[in-house]
């Protein structure tokens, strides 16, 4: 039975991490081919395990226990949910590692790159198949570490180093909440095994479940860059574009959404309400910022945040299958967009879209790939983004009206920002930089083509019973969100078409002047360009509140704590220095002390006893 070997899935990339770390320097491309082989092996095994799950249902192993404790019994759980995630991570991961062979060619630190990316894929895969919350948390922290290392891959660049630190610190806030959630679960359930927790969940008080699920959701907010912890993801674009595509679009940032989906039985209606609103707000503010950014990768990054918000929103409103469906589709079209953006950066050597124009003629394959990605993302039929976005909107529609309109506006903005990007970069007159552009090498083009096919056709799995399959991961599945009703579907198409039209009229056939719109909406534009001043707020908080209170506490530490410790020592030394003067060496001095002591004893005896 192939599922019994599913524990091997993360072992291949882990082995390649160790080997590349030790011997990568002696291999060609810093061991890149080894990484490709290891991730490829993982992918093949994953596909075999997934087909097993599709045919025979979930598989769970007993696992091995750590420290001889039942709470730390780490095994493998592959159910429909992890199967989908396993597919995304191993398949997209494989394509991106292949693409790296072209993209990272000739970079001096390439050995480190392949080692870290192998470790990342290993820990991401073990996060997905973990059957124990602590096991999951360990992998969770490992992917966070790899994210930090890879964002700061070009560590000599100060902006990359500080972006890495920012990502690490901001996600840490979520990680602490996740850990607290695990503690609450352990205290209440007495076990950390996922299946056992799900079995016990219906018998636990609602308030406790709400607390536990909100704490776990806190972890998801950090990792999946949800409002208000979304600030790290756009800065994370300092890393190589392959890293942005793999970690910050297709896999790691999905870990938060995956966590919510994984722990779904613990979520009460109250906590789902919070999840839904956080998701909706995230989707909206990120989409609005994406409209004004001028950095190619940042626009896509904000779009990622926005779409992660969509997924969270879907889970929050009970559209479980819709959220996972969007997760699958998003991995394809967003990885595709990032990789084609990477090809553009490779050719133009700039990230600013104002330097790019009319690239279509020089880079037709990349342009087509970007076009397909944009089409899919904007939610125009018939490609993948349309189907999942539609299901999400249907689910939101039956949940709450204000949230639905927020989603509708976001959907409109999605179409605007992605087509704006496409028209600016690929159409129009050729810019100076574009004249030297050239198409990407073959090893980069093939992953683009495969991902394009994914972005086009992954949406059709919905007709092959995807929803029912994913719902199978839940014991008590929420009622399957009804398929999009006619009017919602029509509205969704209309919004996407309007957005596309607006972008085309502004940036393709300049009927609307972008500059005039910007002037008319100057305050809004300033607000958006400054990212709602959230980064300023955090900066203020970090420098004023945290640093100042730290300084005050340092005073307490130095004067009171250290003072007590040092004072004790100093008192001993001082009294010793004084007391040693008694040792004069003169015998008669000692004799007088003896005499004085005897006299004192006599006096005391006289005072208390009287009858000597």
Interface contacts to another protein, rule CB under 8 A: 580-581, 583-588, 591-592, 595
Radius of gyration in angstroms for the set of CA atoms belonging to the chain, rounded to a whole number: 31
Q: Which is nearer to another protein, 401 or 588 (CB)?
A: 588
Closest CA to 518 of 508, 507, 509: 507
Residue 526, token pair as written in the block: 């300033």
Where is 598: in which H helix or E strand?
helix 587-608
- Please state the φ and ψ torsions of residue 64, each to the nearest 5 degrees: -115, 150
Q: Which is nearer to another protein, 552 or 594 (CB)?
A: 594
Q: Where are the alpha helices (DSSP H) in 67-132?
A: 80-103, 110-129
Q: Where are the alpha helices (DSSP H) in 317-400?
A: 320-348, 364-378, 384-397
d(CA 348, CA 331): 25
Q: How would you classify the pairing of strands 77-78 and 69-74?
A: unpaired
CA atoms lying within 13 Å on the CB side of residue 603: 6
User: Minimum CB separation from another protein for residue 612, in Å?
Assistant: 14
Q: Which is nearer to another protein, 294 or 584 (CB)?
A: 584
Q: Which is nearer to another protein, 442 or 581 (CB)?
A: 581
User: Minimum CB separation from another protein for residue 69, in Å?
Assistant: 59
User: Minimum CB separation from another protein for residue 605, in Å?
Assistant: 17
Closest CA to 97 of 78, 116, 76: 116
User: Minimum CB separation from another protein for residue 546, in Å?
Assistant: 52
Query: Is the four-CA dihedral 127, 131, 135, 137 of positive or negative sign?
Result: positive
User: Minimum CB separation from another protein for residue 609, in Å?
Assistant: 20
Q: How would you classify the pairing of strands 59-60 and 64-66?
A: unpaired
User: Minimum CB separation from another protein for residue 588, in Å?
Assistant: 5
User: Minimum CB separation from another protein for residue 571, in Å?
Assistant: 20
- The answer to whether 363 touches 343, Cβ cutoff 8 Å, is yes
Q: Which is nearer to another protein, 55 or 578 (CB)?
A: 578
Q: Where are the alpha helices (DSSP H) in 441-561?
A: 442-457, 466-471, 486-507, 514-520, 522-529, 534-540, 547-556
User: Minimum CB separation from another protein for residue 607, in Å?
Assistant: 20
d(CA 447, CA 499): 29
- The answer to whether 153 touches 240, Cβ cutoff 8 Å, is yes
Q: Which is nearer to another protein, 69 or 592 (CB)?
A: 592
User: Minimum CB separation from another protein for residue 610, in Å?
Assistant: 18
Beta-bridge mates of residue 352 = 295
User: Minimum CB separation from another protein for residue 589, in Å?
Assistant: 9
Q: Which is nearer to another protein, 564 or 588 (CB)?
A: 588
Q: Which is nearer to another protein, 54 or 598 (CB)?
A: 598
CA atoms lying within 13 Å on the CB side of residue 581: 4
- Max CA separation in the chain (angstroms): 121
């Amino acid at each position: 039975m192939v599922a019994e070997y599913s524990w091997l899935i993360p072992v291949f990339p882990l082995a390649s991490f160790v080997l590349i770390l030790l011997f990568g320097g002696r291999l060609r491309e810093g061991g890149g081919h080894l990484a490709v082989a290891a991730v490829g092996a993982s992918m093949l095994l994953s596909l075999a395990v997934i087909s097993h799950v599709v045919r025979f249902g979930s598989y769970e192993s007993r696992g091995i226990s750590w420290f001889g404790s039942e709470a730390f019994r780490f095994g493998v759980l592959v159910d429909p949910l992890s199967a989908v995630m396993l597919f995304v991570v191993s398949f997209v991961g494989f394509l991106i590692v292949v693409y790296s062979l072209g993209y990272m060619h000739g970079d001096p630190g390439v050995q480190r790159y392949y080692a870290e990316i192998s470790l990342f894929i290993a820990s991401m895969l073990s996060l997905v198949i973990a059957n124990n919350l602590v096991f999951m948390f360990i992998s969770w922290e490992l992917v966070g570490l790899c994210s930090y290392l890879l964002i700061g891959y070009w560590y000599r660049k100060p902006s990359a180093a500080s972006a890495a630190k920012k990502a690490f610190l901001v996600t840490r806030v979520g990680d602490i909440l996740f850990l607290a959630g695990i503690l609450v679960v352990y205290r209440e359930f007495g076990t950390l095994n996922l299946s056992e927790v799900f079995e016990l969940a219906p018998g636990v008080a609602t308030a406790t479940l709400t607390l536990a699920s909100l704490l776990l959701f806190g972890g998801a907010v950090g990792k999946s860059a949800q409002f208000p912890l979304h600030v790290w993801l756009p800065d994370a674009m300092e890393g190589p574009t392959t890293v942005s595509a793999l970690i910050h679009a297709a896999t790691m940032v999905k870990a938060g959404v995956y966590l919510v989906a994984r722990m779904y039985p613990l979520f009460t209606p109250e906590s789902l309400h919070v999840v839904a609103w956080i998701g909706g707000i995230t989707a909206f503010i990120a989409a609005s910022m994406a409209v004004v950014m001028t950095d190619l990768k940042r626009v896509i990054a904000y779009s990622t945040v926005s779409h992660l918000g969509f997924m969270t929103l879907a889970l929050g409103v009970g559209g479980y299958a819709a959220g996972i469906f969007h997760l699958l589709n998003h991995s394809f079209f967003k990885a595709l967009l990032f990789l084609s953006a990477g090809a553009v950066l490779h050719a133009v050597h700039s990230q600013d879209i104002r330097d790019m124009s009319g690239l279509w003629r020089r880079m037709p394959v990349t342009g087509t790939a970007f076009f397909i990605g944009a089409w899919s993302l904007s939610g125009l039929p018939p490609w993948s983004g349309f189907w999942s976005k539609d299901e999400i909107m249907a689910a939101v529609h039956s949940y709450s009206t204000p949230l639905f309109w927020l989603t509708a506006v976001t959907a409109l903005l999605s179409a605007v920002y992605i087509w704006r990007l496409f028209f600016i970069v690929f159409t129009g007159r050729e810019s100076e930089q574009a004249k030297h552009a050239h198409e990407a090498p073959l090893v980069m083009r093939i992953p683009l083509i495969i991902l394009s096919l994914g972005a086009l056709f992954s949406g059709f799995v919905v007709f092959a019973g995807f929803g029912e399959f994913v719902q199978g991961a839940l014991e008590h599945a929420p009622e399957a969100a009804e398929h999009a009703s006619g009017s919602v579907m029509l509205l969704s198409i209309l919004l996407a078409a309007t957005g596309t039209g607006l972008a085309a009229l502004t940036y393709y056939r300049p009927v609307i002047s972008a500059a005039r719109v910007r002037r008319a909406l100057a305050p809004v534009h300033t607000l958006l360009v400054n990212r709602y001043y959230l980064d300023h707020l955090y900066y203020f908080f970090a420098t004023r509140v945290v640093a100042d209170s730290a300084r005050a506490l340092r005073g307490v530490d130095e004067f009171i704590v250290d003072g007590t410790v040092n004072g004790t020592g100093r008192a001993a030394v001082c009294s010793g220095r004084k007391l040693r003067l008694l040792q004069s060496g003169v015998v008669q001095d000692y004799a007088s002390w003896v005499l004085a002591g005897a006299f004192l004893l006599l006096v005391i005896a006289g005072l208390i006893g009287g009858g000597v």
